[in-house]
Structure 1
Amino acid sequence: MPPRPFRIDVPRDVLTDLHRRLDATRYPEPLPGGPWEHGANVSYVRELCTYWRHQYDWRRHEAELNRYPQFLCEVDGVDLHFWHVRGKGPSPLPLLLTHGWPCSNYDFHHLIGPLTDPAAHGGDAADAFDVIIPALPGYGFSGKPREPGWDVSRVAAAFNRLMTEHLGYPRYGAQGGDWGALVTSALGVEHAGNLVGLHLNMAFAGPPPGGEQSELAQAYGQKVAPIMAKEMGYFQVQSTKPMSLAIGQSDSPAGLAAWFVEKFQTWTDCDGDLERVLSKDWLLTNLMLYWVTNSAASAANLYYETHGKGRADQSNPVRVPTAVAVFPKDMPLPPRSWLEARYDLRRYTEMARGGHFAAVDAPELLLGDVRAFFRELRQATRAQGG
């Protein structure tokens, strides 16, 4: 089926019900220790939810989300929701942007203008892109898969079909972090012929054959071990028993907020002050895309399908020109030599600041690196007469 135009229009009774639930929230007493030591900070979650109830204006943000053309397109039995904005330049390059968890395709909304119309934002019109920003299946306004098997490879196949069959782009670029990096890497493994290049702000690779016991592997393991021990509880829950948690998140907006906000606090380059990087309005608009669509469970299920069933292969070679942007407050990436062994690594940029959510944490750095990488590929293509 061809893409159908779509506008977000949340029914009033959904907002009324949200307000009722926020009014009825019962908060626990904080546990002894630091405010974020045991997970979410009760005082901050209460403050955020009070703002959500009394000051946050969904209709204003809904209108902003509707400012750009958006569509639904059924692919492999699931409706994909996406923005599709044409570039303004001599030869816009199609660019697929894929988000992660606990984010949404809203991550990239503020980059649509600079990517599609760089000349209007202090850039060069030759760097223009056609941008396509889908919500992952089960996330936001995308449909919820009704059968098992929707791991990252199946998501990548659906996105490739969207780009090539439904939007008519035989070749395109792709960018992603978090789940977006896994999906984008899967595109490079399984659909390389359609890819001009990949830009990642998170990359996955194991040690090359014979290097498992090297000093480099040991050093990387020592760097990652404390993070795995302290920060991966969410991963274990969502990879094994996602519904046990999601029932509560689907019933309580404060519960959903607490689970998400703790990750933003931990994974951004905010020096302990989350709102120095992400405003309450940004946090709540992102949350609303989960709340109003009741997608906490279907979003978490991607962990179960991919990691819980052992489908996250991080060794398959990616023979597509690749750029990796390294942000210092993100989780440690594998050693560069491991990435070079797995990817056709053409660009490796160590950023001065930024964390896991680069599109909103350090958007100008991500934007500049994406432009620079694909500029090189465009020039190489022109030089080859392509």
Structure 2
Amino acid sequence: MTRRELLAATAAAGAINMLPGALRDSAARSEAIRPFSIRFPGGQLDDLRRRVAATRWPDREVVADDTQGVQLATIQKLATYWAKDHDWRKIEARLNALPQFITVIDGLEIHFIHVRSKHENALPVIITHGWPGSIIEQLKVIEPLTNPTAHGGSETDAFHVVIPSLPGYGFSGKPTVPGWTPVRIAKAWATLMQRLGYTKYVAQGGDWGNAVSEQMALQEPPGLLGIHTNMAATVPADISKALAAGGPAPSGLSPDEKRAYDQLDDFNKNGLGYAIEMNNRPQTLYGIVDSPVGLAAWMLDHDIRSYELIARVFDGKSEGLTRDDILDNVTLYWLTNTAISSARLYWDNAHFPTGGFFDPRGIKIPVAVSAFPDEIYQAPQSWAEKAYPKLIHYNRLPKGGHFAAWEQPAAFTAELRTAFRPLRNSI
């Protein structure tokens, strides 16, 4: 038996302690949970500012709107603020004030935030970000979720919160082989929750976080009670077919269904450029590794309603996100050099397919849906009820978009409290 086979066999039998000393020590190290903190050298921050200031600008777009992409005036306002006013050390200190850890799962270092509530019967939740997001998306909801009595809730609303960085993102390791799909990540997240000692828990996600959470629901690892999504996969097959054909909406749709169809149709026709490139040729994106302004523009052009919100922010308007919020996230990608490693998740998913991004997957465990109006599409309740036979919560929110926890933290927190309340009797 090889060393790897011996480790696998003994771990499966729960007998790590029976291994010979050297192998036992190696296995223990591989499963160790190590504290983690951040401190980027000042020289890297100086280099970032120098690169931003040295940006070679293109000509202005030749239309009066954003149909050609991120507008020159918007990105120049961002660059000016980035070079002169943004302070990375503030978000670095904020992250370092939280309990952060690294552990190795399936051969890859996984970084995560883990904040336990002071309330004994708190419900553990693992929250997964997406692209172009990061753990920064969820920072505003940690305190309200873990300490509800200080934020308008009761102790029965408390959560223990686990927020991992996706593989290839942020401070997690960068895969060196293909295949780190949502299926594989879902298995890693179940291992993480088990390693943390949680025997019953829930999962939450939007964007890639939804894909990972739904794969966890399909895998039904021991202890997973249910999931919550703010970007549900509910599009019926006939709707997907009509969208692929590029024709008009099918007849007989309700107003909510027609609005969702129109949102999806617009995204398919005008909003998929970034995903097509990352699905097919992520390694070609050298420009966004070499130019911070190039990276920022690429990340801003995710979906039109998010871009419009960000443009308003840099015009001085008050929104759920601030200029610092946006640049904290872009700077994290820059300093960790994860522009291309994060993009490869799209390539992996395209080459190891598990169905369309918004296709129902046949989930059998409880699911809760929060439908925000400015998401890529606002999932209608009728579609959600068909996609999730055990739908335990559905709410159509009046405000909020793709980055729900980041942009509308109070609404997001309230949704999680309500959504998972029916499952708390199981812990």
1:152-177, Cα deviation, whole Å (9 max, x unpaired): 1011111111111x211122111111
Match of 2:292 in 1: 253
Task: Choose the corresponding residue for 1:294, options 315, 327, 337.
Answer: 337
23-32 vs 295-304, which deviates more?
A: 23-32
Are positions 1:232 and 2:272 aligned together?
Answer: yes
Match of 2:184 in 1: 154
2:348 pairs with 305, 312, 316, which one?
305
- After TM superposition, list the pairs within 5 Å mapping 1:1-386 onto structure 2: 1-164=31-194, 166-207=195-236, 215=251, 219=258, 221=261, 223-245=263-285, 247-263=286-302, 266-267=305-306, 270=309, 273-274=312-313, 276-277=318-319, 278-312=321-355, 314-343=359-388, 344-379=390-425, 381=426
**Could you say if the C-alpha distance between residues 347 and 43 of structure 1 is closer, same or farther in structure 2, counting changes exceeding 3 Å?**
same
CA 151–64 in structure 1, closer or farther in 2 if over 3 Å, else same:
same
Determine the C-alpha separation between the residues in 2 that align with 1:210 and 1:281.
Answer: 39
Secondary structure of the residue aligned to 1:318 is coil
Aligned-partner SS, 1:263: coil
Structure 1, residues 45-104: CA drift from partner, whole Å, max 9, x if none? 112112111111111221111111000111111111111001122311111010011010
- What letter is aligned with 2:61? L
CA distance in 1, matches of 2:355, 2:111: 24
Deviates more, 1:185-194 or 1:71-80: 185-194
Q: CA offset at residue 267 of structure 1? A: 2.5
In the alignment, residue 72 of structure 1 is paired with which amino acid? I
Q: Please tell me the root mean square deviation across aligned C-alpha atoms, in Å.
A: 2.3
- Determine helix, strand or coil for the equivalent of 2:64: coil
Question: 1:42 offset after TM fit, Å?
Answer: 1.3
State the 4+ residue runs in structure 1 displaced beyond 4 angstroms.
Answer: 208-223
1:174 to 1:268, Cα distance in 2 relative to 1, 3 A: farther
Q: Is the 8 A contact 1:114 1:120 kept in 2?
A: yes
Q: If you compute each CA radius of gyration, which structure gives the higher value, 1 or 2? A: 2
Equivalent AA in structure 1 for residue 325 of structure 2:
W
The CA deviation at 1:370 is 0.4
1:253 maps to a residue whose letter is P
Q: Would you say the 8 A contact 2:36–2:102 is kept in 1?
A: yes
Q: Quick one: distance in 1 between partners of 2:239 and 2:65? A: 44
Structure 1 residue 265: Cα displacement: 6.0
Paired amino acid for 1:283: I
Structure 1 unaligned regions, length at least 5: none
User: Is the partner of 1:320 in helix, strand or coil?
Assistant: coil
Q: CA deviation at 1:12?
A: 2.0
User: What secondary structure sits across from 1:71 in the alignment?
Assistant: strand
Q: Tell me, yes or no, if the aligned pair for 1:216 and 1:335 is still in contact at 8 Å.
A: no
Q: Match for 1:128: what amino acid?
A: A
Report the residue type matching 2:77 in the other structure: E
| Number of residue pairs the alignment of both structures matches | 379
Question: How much has 1:309 moved relative to structure 2?
Answer: 4.0
Quote how far apart the aligned CAs of 1:301 are: 0.7
User: Partner amino acid for 1:169?
Assistant: Y
Q: State the percentage of identical aligned residues.
A: 39
- Whether the 8 Å contact between 1:208 and 1:341 is mirrored in structure 2 is no
User: 1: CA distance between counterparts of 2:221 and 2:189?
Assistant: 13
Give the whole-Å Cα distance in 2 for the aligned partners of 1:227 and 1:98.
Answer: 23
Return the offset for 1:263.
2.9
TM-score by length of 2: 0.83
User: Counterpart amino acid of 1:205?
Assistant: T
Q: Distance in 1 between matches of 2:263 and 2:151?
A: 39
Instruction: Provide structure 2 residue ranges, at least 5 long, that are not aligned to the other structure.
Output: 1-30, 243-249
Q: So what's the TM-score if we normalise by structure 1?
A: 0.92
Q: What secondary structure, in the 3-state scheme, does the structure 1 residue paired with 2:330 have?
A: helix
Change in CA separation of 1:216 and 1:133 when aligned onto 2, cut-off 3 Å: farther
CA contact under 8 A between 1:268 and 1:274: conserved in structure 2? no
Mapped to 2, the partners of 1:357 and 1:43 lie a distance apart of: 23
Q: Is the 8 A contact 2:239 2:261 kept in 1?
A: no
Distance 2:153 2:165 in 1: 27
User: 2:241 & 2:295 partners in 1: Cα distance?
Assistant: 39
